[in-house]
């Protein structure tokens, strides 16, 4: 305590130091602030409870059984998707796809790219790999680079997005979607702000 009293006294103008009266009971000692290193150690000790992408893949949580799935099991998902896509695109019964020259075409095409495709029935109408052309099925997994389609023969097939052009039918409307526009994770694609011009869906 004495060093502290001397320190406080030295802060006072010399000819007033004789009047300084320090009451020990009125002095509160504060603990020193923790260093950044101490804080970082504390943060590291509380490990995140969520799995990393590497752990997610190691546990096999991003894979689907190839043979155990049935096409009929995916049909309810497809019905849910049909309701979702109509709401997402603001479609009503009898609506037509906007033409390229119409004012609402660009916004419509951007919203089409942002669609969540889980449950959509897609068909490969063109591909650099000719063996993929004609493949069709309900999309049960959408990753950054691949769509996994469950066909009517109950086979699960992986189709690369960037290599293919997909056809999608909704009621009396038919869409053609270039896979190169879909090469992003669906969660990121749904909120991505598209600034560049989108190629026409013809």
> How many whole angstroms separate alpha carbon 109 and alpha carbon 179?
14
pLDDT tens for residues 113-128?
A: 888 899 999 999 999 8
Confidence of residue 200 (pLDDT cuts 50, 70, 90): very low
Mean pLDDT on 139-154: 92
Asked if the model's pLDDT at residue 32 lies above 70, the reply is no
DSSP per-residue codes, 93-123: TT--PPPTTSTTHHHHHHHHHT---TT-EEE
**Residue bearing tokens 């309810």:** 76
> How many whole angstroms separate alpha carbon 89 and alpha carbon 189?
15
Residue 55 tokens read as 């752990």
Taking the alpha carbons of 131, 135, 141, 147 in that order, is the dihedral positive or negative? positive
Report the chain's mean pLDDT, rounded to a whole number: 79
Whether residue 186 contacts residue 118, with contact meaning beta carbons closer than 8 Å, is answered with yes
Neighbours of 15 (CB within 10 A): 7
Please indicate whether residue 167 or residue 14 has the higher confidence score (pLDDT).
167
> Of 111, 130, 124, whose CA–CA distance to 193 is shortest?
111
DSSP per-residue codes, 116-173: --TT-EEEEEEESSGGGTT-EEEEEEE-SSEEEEE-TTS-EEEEESTTEEEEEEETTE
Q: Which of 119-133, 164-178, 182-196 has the lowest mean pLDDT?
A: 182-196
* Sequence-separated (6 or more) residues with CB below 8 Å from residue 85: 91, 115, 120, 170
Burial class (CB in 10 A: 0-12, 13-18, 19+), 113: middle
pLDDT tens for residues 42-65?
A: 555 555 677 787 887 777 666 776
């Amino acid at each position: 305590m004495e060093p502290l009293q001397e320190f406080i006294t030295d802060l006072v103008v010399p000819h007033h130091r004789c009047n300084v009266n320090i009451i020990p009971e009125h002095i509160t000692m504060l603990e020193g602030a923790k260093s950044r290193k101490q804080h970082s150690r504390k943060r590291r000790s509380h490990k995140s409870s969520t799995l990393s992408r590497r752990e997610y893949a190691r546990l096999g949580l991003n894979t689907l059984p190839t043979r155990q799935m049935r096409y009929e099991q995916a049909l309810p998902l497809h019905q849910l998707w049909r309701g979702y896509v109509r709401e997402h695109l603001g479609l009503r019964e009898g609506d037509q796809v906007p033409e390229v020259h119409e004012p609402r075409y660009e916004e419509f095409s951007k919203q089409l790219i942002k669609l969540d495709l889980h449950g959509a029935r897609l068909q490969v109408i063109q591909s650099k790999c000719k063996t993929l052309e004609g493949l069709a099925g309900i999309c049960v997994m959408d990753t950054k680079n691949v769509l996994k389609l469950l066909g009517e023969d109950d086979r699960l097939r992986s189709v690369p997005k960037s290599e293919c052009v997909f056809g999608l039918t909704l009621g009396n409307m038919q869409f053609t979607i270039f896979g190169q526009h879909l090469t992003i994770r669906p969660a990121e694609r749904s909120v991505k702000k598209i600034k560049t011009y989108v190629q026409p869906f013809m």
